Amino acid sequence: MNQYFATVARGLENLAAQELEELGAGAVSPGFCGVNFSGDRTLLYKVNLWARLPFRVLWKLYEFSCPDAKALYAGIQTIDWQKYLTPQQTLSVTATGGNAELNHTHFTALQVKNAIVDQQQGKFSGRSSVDTEDPDLRINVFIDKYSMCTVSLDSSGSSLHRRGYRPAMGQAPLKESLAAALVKLSGWTPDLPFLDPLCGSGTLPLEAAMQALNIAPGLFRERFSFEKWTDFDPQLLDQLIEEAEASQLDQLLAPILGSDIDAEVLKQAVNNAQSCDVDRHVKFAHTDLAYIEAPADRGVLLCNPPYGARLGDASELGGFYKLLGDTMKRRFKGWTAFVLSGNQELTKAIGLKPSQKTPILNGSIPCQLLKYELY
């Protein structure tokens, strides 16, 4: 079995571990900003195609002690790179971590590149060129505090949170992977109505719809990095894609809705829904928060209001948060509401006591996912 590492946003490691177990991963172990797991090539392709929370999936090739630059160079050269890279192919190296001697990631990456191309030149008449934009092989090197170096191949390429269905985005959009995580953390199930009354370009309703309809998020990507590997199995990937498409559901069990006061950003939401083929399932409405009504007696309301950090002025948002709280308690009795808040002072204006607070990072902004039971 191969050893893999799926990188995820800090704080979501346990949730991602659960998702990987559901996809069939073995030896699942959450770590810092990621999850270790094991599996075969089929699982690697499947995780890239189906996982909703990771940013990228790394295949661990080799580990060795790396106290200094000389040891790094020697360790990299012990790997037989012709198994993974021909001189005609391009490469890029990403380095993270470090120790007292290797404390500059650019130098570390350069040393790794030099060791690889020097090996090539010793065996062949040519060497790989560096391509930082779209390389054939993406190499990841991590040096921990104990001076152990882990060399991995990046199987994903561009971050998996970039599904490919969202060319249109409003201001300060949620990453698709975070939106998927919030939907999971809410405990929502597809038999309940789902509403985001501040939906912007629609990421939360769209991720909910993709989960409810069993749509694999990787179906909308142009390519995965592993498709350029020397051992790429196109028949296997085609088979997994066919199975994913065949497993999609045709109908929702309950409505999934989004609304916003901004008509222009709603056009973006509709375009995004069309891009991921859920436009006939998700309904968007141009509605002011003050006039929104619950579409059913029970359901889940999930929203990401402005924090005053990137959008709006915090001093002017108190009234908006009060309106959000009034709307929830007056018009959504019987529902469960979740608010992603990045501003504790503004949260107080909601006027309701949360039954649960879950720490979440939205990019670099410390937030809390607040749960409100509305009776």
Question: pLDDT per residue over 13-50, tens digit each?
Answer: 999 999 999 999 999 999 999 999 999 999 999 999 99
**CA 182 remoteness from chain centre:** 11
The residues, ordered by sequence, that sit 6+ positions from 156 with a Cβ below 8 Å of its Cβ are 48, 54, 55, 56, 57, 224, 225, 226
pLDDT digits (tens, 9 = 90+) for 88-98: 999 999 999 99
pLDDT, position 14? 97
pLDDT, position 211? 98
d(Cα 294, Cα 169) in Å, to the nearest integer?
26
pLDDT, position 310? 46
Average pLDDT over residues 232-259: 98
Buried b (16+ CB within 10 A) or exposed e, 188-216: bebebbbbbbbbbbbbbbbbbbbbbbebb
Average pLDDT over residues 227-248: 97
pLDDT, position 314? 58
Give pTM, 2 decimals: 0.93
pLDDT digits (tens, 9 = 90+) for 341-374: 999 889 999 999 999 999 999 988 999 999 999 9
By DSSP bridging, strand 2-7 and strand 56-65 are antiparallel
Q: What percent of the chain has pLDDT over 70?
A: 97
pLDDT value at 285 more than 60: yes
The one-character DSSP state at 18 is: H
d(Cα 121, Cα 128) in Å, to the nearest integer?
9
Mean pLDDT, the chain, rounded, equals 94
From 209, 214, 219, 211, select the one nearest 165 (Cα to Cα): 219
